[in-house]
Amino acid sequence: MEKYSSIRLEITSKCNLKCSYCHNAKYANNAEDLSTEEILKLIRNLKSYYPINKILLTGGEPLCQPDLVKIVQEITNLKIKPDMVSNGTLLNKNFIKELDNAGLKRIRLSIDEIGNKSKIRGTSSPKDLWLKVKEIQENSNIEVCIHSVCSPNNVNILDKLYKQVVASGAKRWRVFDIGYQGGFANEYKNYNLVRYYKTYIKKARAILKSYIKNEVYKKLDIEISNIFRTDFLKLSQEDIDTLNLQKELEIKLKSNPCDYVKGHQLTIRSDGKASLCQYYRNCIFDYKKNSFDIAKTVKNKQPCTENDMFVKNVPYCKNCKYILMCSCGCRSRAEFFTHNIYEADPIACYLSKEVDKKIMPLLPSNIKNYYNAIKIQSGTEPKYNYKDVKTFLRSQK
């Protein structure tokens, strides 16, 4: 039985913005949204069944759920850590205070830009949002994490965004590489994606050089999807000395390729249907249909390939030299480009090589040594090379 410890709960499908790339764009204003009472019942029942320690409130836009504060309070009462990702536009002093009093531990503010007007996120003003980062930090106990989606629309300013994050005093910055779902799955052909990924690496290099040289890691945690996260800096010689490559490999082959599944995370949509990550819509559990009875819902679990697969089922990847760090990339992205969930993820193939060649040389020797130690020397090169990736990115699939 799955033991979920972290739930990503979409408490409404309503949103006050229309971000063109949004993976949930098509599902806004769903008439089947759960009522507040149903949401509270679901949370209580989940807590009594699973060892849940964190609930991330999302949507739609969580600030559009009229009983948000009540929901946060209930999560706190259940001794679960309430966390929230929001576009922040509806946040004001009072709202921040109410959320703080209800026990909200962290706000992940989605900000992809700098300047007065957004070119990506509808009517929002990046400048106002950056002021709100300050406001939350100065007037509440809520930790602020900046969530930036990197896409062809903003990759050119990624380094400027980094400087803004540092200046804002936020504690964490997570950069998500754009996902090929929802809005972006429709618009990706309008962009030069080959140039996008090249620039992504170039900007990440510039950011990491400054991050390490100026010891910014002492005050800011960062994660740049598929490239780097601050945790790497904590790797020690002991981690290398005690590494049992054969054992690590055995564990990897028997594990699910998806970090969300491995992290015991579940996404529950605003209508009470659950899927394994925000990018997959396949329903594994339907809580509403089963009257929010968790045992009954689990009994009526629906077949779900992405839940039941293992790294050893991904034929090429299991022998790849980068398998321990790449974990077959993203299954949803592999399926998007190749129409086969058991295929290699072409973007992950490209990024693994680029990280090896262009990012690793910049990092401190402890990381480089660990990275080299977990690279399978007898392994194969990634399945897709730069030429293949270019073909995928330019194809009209």
Chain residues binding ligand SAM by CB under 6 A are 15, 21-24, 58-59, 61, 85-87, 110, 147, 149, 176, 178-179, 181-182, 184
Whole-number Å distance between alpha carbons of 347 and 286 = 32
In 3D space, the residue among 269, 344, 342, 252 whose CA is nearest the CA of residue 306 turns out to be: 342
Closest CB 363 distance from ligand SAM, rounded Å: 25
Residue 61 or 271 having the CB closest to ligand SAM? 61
Residue 6 or 87 having the CB closest to ligand SAM? 87
Contact between 260 and 276 under an 8 Å Cβ cutoff? The reply is: yes
Residue 118 or 297 having the CB closest to ligand SAM? 118
Q: Which two tokens stand for residue 44?
A: 């209580």
Residue 61 or 343 having the CB closest to ligand SAM? 61
Whole-number Cα distances in Å, 316 to 239, 320, 325, 381: 28, 7, 15, 10
Whole-number Cα distances in Å, 155 to 114, 190, 322, 349: 12, 15, 25, 20
Closest CB 208 distance from ligand SAM, rounded Å: 21
Residue 318 or 333 having the CB closest to ligand SAM? 333
Whole-number Å distance between alpha carbons of 148 and 111 = 5
Closest CB 147 distance from ligand SAM, rounded Å: 4
Whole-number Cα distances in Å, 31 to 18, 23, 27: 18, 18, 10
β-bridge partners, 224 = 175, 228
Residue 276 or 320 having the CB closest to ligand SAM? 276
Closest CB 213 distance from ligand SAM, rounded Å: 29
Closest CB 151 distance from ligand SAM, rounded Å: 8
Closest CB 181 distance from ligand SAM, rounded Å: 5
Grouping H, G, I as helix, E, B as strand and the rest as coil, residue 6 is strand
> What one-letter code names the amino acid at 116?
N
Contact between 123 and 110 under an 8 Å Cβ cutoff? The reply is: no
Alpha helices in 64-112 (DSSP H): 68-77, 93-101
Residue 6 or 86 having the CB closest to ligand SAM? 86
Closest CB 144 distance from ligand SAM, rounded Å: 13
